[in-house]
Structure 1
Amino acid sequence: MVKHPLFVIIACAISIGAGIYLNSSYIEIFASVVGVVNVWLLARQKVINFLFGAIAVVSFMYIYFDNGLYAMVVLAALQLIFNLYGWYYWVKNKGEEDVAPTIRLSIQGYVIWTSIILISWGLWSYIQVKFTDASNPYLDALIAVIGLVAQYLLSKKILENWHLWILMNAISIVVYFSTGLYVMILLAVINLFLCIDGLLEWRQNYEVNRHRKGATGTGF
């Protein structure tokens, strides 16, 4: 059901209806709809997802700044750069496929990226508490760090990006609830389903390529 275009149409309609009912801002409703389309296209491994991703993160940048989520403003700005890079990388390395093949992190990659996330979270949280009036500095910083790493892994077509997106959406629900961004909560819930579907589809794509080529691609 999630794979069918009807799902994304219904999800967008629900986001619009909920936004109007909750008297959300137009930019919040717009960002929610574009975000749903972006993640659905990403799960389908469509390169055009990066266009919708760029539009979505610019919209989110404004929303986060307006609500004092400064780390997430930086996240959105860097995600814009990663969207442009991902677009280039997917097309450049597509080979015989429509997009670059899916690869996985090595054990070393798991250790390195886990360490990067934990250390960056601690540093970013400290900066937020010390120098800003961020409304939720610790979770805000955690979401920002996870989002940046996930976006980088996505741009390199690394399967594990989905694990991080799933975690990020779960944490985002807590942050959105505490800041009153209720239509964004709905978006995060919808994205959870889309991310799980994306994980399953990318994993299937990885297994098909692995058996076809007789080797497992890994990334840092």
Structure 2
Amino acid sequence: MDPLGALQEPLFTVLETPVSWTEVLGFGSGALCVWLVARQHLANWAVGIANNLLFILLFTDAGLYADAGLQIVFIALACFGWWSWTHGGGPADRLPVRRTARHEWAWLLAAGAAGCAGLTLLLDRATDSTVPQWDALTTVLSLMATYGQCRKLVESWWIWIAADLVYIPLYAYKELYLTSLLYVGFLALCAAGLRSWRRDLVARIAVTA
């Protein structure tokens, strides 16, 4: 049996919609990854790469081509983040949590706006996507947030929260109900991660003050 085909076989149904092994495994690995990021645990990068590979299959099958392609970029960013967290120049080479500088916000927002416009145009003209604008928006927000987490920018959690608020109804619309539910969980984990990284930042500032 084709192992990739087996992963896409229905496991159970939700609201009369089949849920595949890919979606179930993506649910579990995705939740674990965000929980590990919130705890600043290095293993999040390996778990995240496994999650990205599963979501490539899931999103391609659902016609969310930008989200599928995004997973490849996520894998590259995970490799960068893994290196960055272990070679960050903080105590014992541990990358410290910090705030986003003004110049970083400027280029992130400029790149995000340009990327969203360009990707929307590409998806609209080159694919059969039924939601090109929303697919492009979530793609760009996710890239911005992931870069921020690679550099341990505390505001990256706010960008993830914004992305999740779009992802939840988008996946429900595409009948990926379990994945939509996963992103409700992501939203809660992002709030917890934001609190955790803020505490770490405040504690570090207090020590150095």
Do Structure 1 and Structure 2 share a fold, with TM-score over 0.5?
Answer: yes
Q: Tell me which amino acid in the other structure corresponds to 2:44.
A: N
Alpha-carbon deviation of 1:137?
0.6
Q: Name the residue aligned to 1:6.
A: none
Q: Name the residue aligned to 1:88.
A: 83
Alpha-carbon deviation of 1:206?
0.9
Q: Tell me which amino acid in the other structure corresponds to 1:113.
A: L
Give a deviation string over 1:79-138, Cα, whole Å, max 9, x none: 011111111110112632583100111123223212221121111101111111112111
Q: 1:105 is paired with a residue of what secondary structure?
A: coil
Q: Name the residue aligned to 1:33.
A: 28
Q: Name the residue aligned to 2:190.
A: 195
Q: Name the residue aligned to 1:76.
A: 71
Give a deviation string over 1:6-63, Cα, whole Å, max 9, x none: xxxxxxxxxxxxx745241011000000000000011011011111111101111111
Where does structure 1 lack aligned partners over 5 or more consecutive residues? Answer: 1-18, 215-220
Q: Aligned pair in 2 of structure 1 residues 120, 112: CA closer, same or farther (>3 Å)? A: same
Q: Name the residue aligned to 2:149.
A: 154
Q: 1:121 aligns with which of 116, 121, 141?
A: 116
Q: Structure with the greater relative contact order (CA < 8 A, sep ≥ 6): 1 or 2?
A: 1
Q: 1:24 is paired with a residue of what secondary structure?
A: strand
Cα distance in 2 for partners of 1:174, 1:21 equals 19
Cα distance in 2 for partners of 1:110, 1:42 equals 22
Q: Tell me which amino acid in the other structure corresponds to 2:134.
A: L
Cα distance in 1 for partners of 2:92, 2:12 equals 41
Cα distance in 2 for partners of 1:202, 1:130 equals 41
Asked if 2 retains the 8 angstrom alpha-carbon contact of 1:90 and 1:156, the reply is yes
Q: Name the residue aligned to 1:209.
A: 204
Asked if 2 retains the 8 angstrom alpha-carbon contact of 1:45 and 1:99, the reply is no
Q: 2:58 aligns with which of 46, 54, 63?
A: 63
Asked if 1 retains the 8 angstrom alpha-carbon contact of 2:164 and 2:184, the reply is yes
Cα distance in 2 for partners of 1:154, 1:89 equals 10
Q: Does 1:106 align with 2:101?
A: yes
Question: Which ranges of 4 or more aligned residues in structure 1 deviate by more than 3 Å?
Answer: none
Q: 2:90 is paired with a residue of what secondary structure?
A: coil
Cα distance in 1 for partners of 2:90, 2:205 equals 15
TM-score (norm. length: structure 1):
0.85
**Equivalent residues, number:** 196
Cα distance in 2 for partners of 1:20, 1:187 equals 16
Q: Aligned pair in 2 of structure 1 residues 111, 134: CA closer, same or farther (>3 Å)? A: same
Where does structure 2 lack aligned partners over 5 or more consecutive residues? Answer: 1-10
- Percentage of matched positions with identical amino acids: 28
Asked if 1 retains the 8 angstrom alpha-carbon contact of 2:115 and 2:140, the reply is yes
Give a deviation string over 1:60-89, Cα, whole Å, max 9, x none: 111111111111112110001111111111
Q: 1:36 is paired with a residue of what secondary structure?
A: helix
TM-score (norm. length: structure 2):
0.89
